[in-house]
Structure 1
Amino acid sequence: MNKEAAEDCVERAVAYLSEGKIEKAEKLLTKSLSLHPLKRAEELLEKIKCGAYTKRATSGNASDEGVRQRPTASQGSKAETATEAEYTAEQLEAVKRIKKCKDYYEVLGVTKEAPDTEIKKAYKKLALQLHPDKNKAPGAVEAFKAIGNAVAILTDAEKRKSYDLYGSDEQHQPTARRTRTQYEYAYSRGFETEFTAEELFNMFFGGNIPTQHVYMRQRRFHRAEHQQQQYREPQSGYAAFINLLPIILLIGLSMMSSFFISDPIYSLTPSQKFSVARKTNQLKIPYYVKDNFHSEYQGSVGRLEASVEEEYLNNLKHSCYRERNYKETMLMKARNFGDRDLYLKAQNINTPSCDKLHSLHN
């Protein structure tokens, strides 16, 4: 894109040279070289320095002989023709298209799902076509501002989100009120960019962000932060207590619930609290109780042991499922790779939980 912009600068410089506008041509050629090194630009600059081009005397200025020249009728008609030919039908059509657009996506010719890269690419293409230095069609300046504002809004995540929510409201307004351009409408709705259209153009084609805007943005941020701090300061005392009240209630409820939860009667694994070993009467499943089991537990021991056996069997079933699943996975892996050693190793994987469950059922 820089190369295209550089070539465009060279073309405009050639046009200025043909009109005798040496200084403007020299500036454009210098800008072209800063964007992309072009041999043609270097040659033209060298010719200008060597004095190969001279300024033309414009009408109304005194010539070298001191005689004031007046434009003839033929010269006047040529000047009018040149003015009329400053823009093409294609350039005028591009400006008209921008004015008819209903939203910024249509302005840039992209979809609402378009990523930043596609949006920037579309902007660069339109910017080269609509830049006021190149496009002299009526309304080109406003169209150039519209595409600049469009890219600034749609490449900013927060502004794009807000624009998607509120930016199309004008479509629902009466026709008489929809007379503003997209640029003016977005600006009035707060969708303005901090940079001018020309600054955005320079940023996209090799320029830098102007430092004054960085300062303004920082100042705006500090002002907003100061306002937030002023808003937060009065929220002390009673307001702080109200904010903390849900947390205090949650802690209180958790503490109260702990009083209503009693310790379990037994455990399947020994510990310091459950240190007395016992076995169920039917399946001989070991379980552990507290020292004061006989004095504390007043229920049916048979019902308790049935609960112990049910929990023990459920644990064995889960362990057996995991062991079988692992063994089958290893066997399948061995078959897929055609690895005989791995297959034999997988066949020899033990499933102790399954074996114990099988023995209990038998």
Structure 2
Amino acid sequence: MMEGNKDEAERCIELAERFIVEGRHDKAERFLLKAEKLYPTQKAKDLLDHLSKNSHQKCAEPEDAPRKRRTATRKEEAKTSDTEMDYPKEHVEAVQRIKKCKDYYEVLGVDKEATDSDIKKAYKKLALQLHPDKNKTPGAAEAFKAIGNAVATLTDPTKRKQYDMYGSEEERLQQQGRHGHGRGGFHEYNYTRGFEADITAEELFNMFFGGGFPSQNVYVRRGGRWQRTGENHNQVRGEHAGSYSLLLQMLPILLLIAISMMSSLFISEPIYSLLANSKFSVPKETQNLKIPYYVKENFHTEYQGSLRRLEMSVEEEYITNLRHACIREKSYRESMVWKARSYGDSVLYAKSQKIRMPSCETLQELQAKA
């Protein structure tokens, strides 16, 4: 019969450990006593001894110590309440939600079956809400870093697989009960479990919203701390100073070799240009779509090919350039519309709707002619 109660007793011990970490010693003691009745273990006895020692220490305190602690707690709560009143409610709630999360999926608000697209979409929404430039709530910077770590880990197939292998919160508690001993015999849960991005949260934000990665300010983890890649530049340069010196000495010879190879593989200049310059200064226009282009002054005497074929090449290149420009214009306009909707900014939304797309308009006109 006692063996049948073993699982229930272990569950009571796990709950007691939680309550000890939370400082709710009375509840912890009740669950430990229950565990002892169900299935006596040395671990439950040790935890009861731990609670008993803490209880004796409290008894040795002055009589007014509990009152002073309660007063200090009330002051701290009042201070926290007053501080939170200075910030928008949705900002405070967003930060507090992430503080309570147990894993990266919960941080981003997605399930474990979420696709890369779902994860990135969730990150973009949270990033605009938690960015330190907008959200000044205490803890917002840590929350912003948390969502950055989350998207960097979960969009990397290898890291995501490794992260998922660590198991659920329940499994972690079981391991903690058997092997985990931190400060005071217990440790708090850390949902990162050692998984952090190789770049800063700000650089991740810039990548998602068009800022790109600053080439000289990319952060990586070395020796357990964040470093700019540029911090080791001088050190690396010192280590390879001898190689660089040798390379500089050989540079004139290498240049001569390169020039001779280029001369042997010389390719003639193009026949036309879509932009006027010193070499292509004579304006012309295609007969079909009236596309302007420029040729050299000696074009009529030097060019022996088909003019119609040349003009078809001009029109094809011109339309290809227009299509690429149109894609960039549409992408910019859509990003501004999405940003306005995310912020709930009606003025920005109205402006984004009026953004002109000249390349797209020109492309439509040419397609109508064709």
Fold shared by both chains (TM-score > 0.5): no
Structure number with bigger Rg: 1
Normalising by structure 1, we get a TM-score of: 0.33
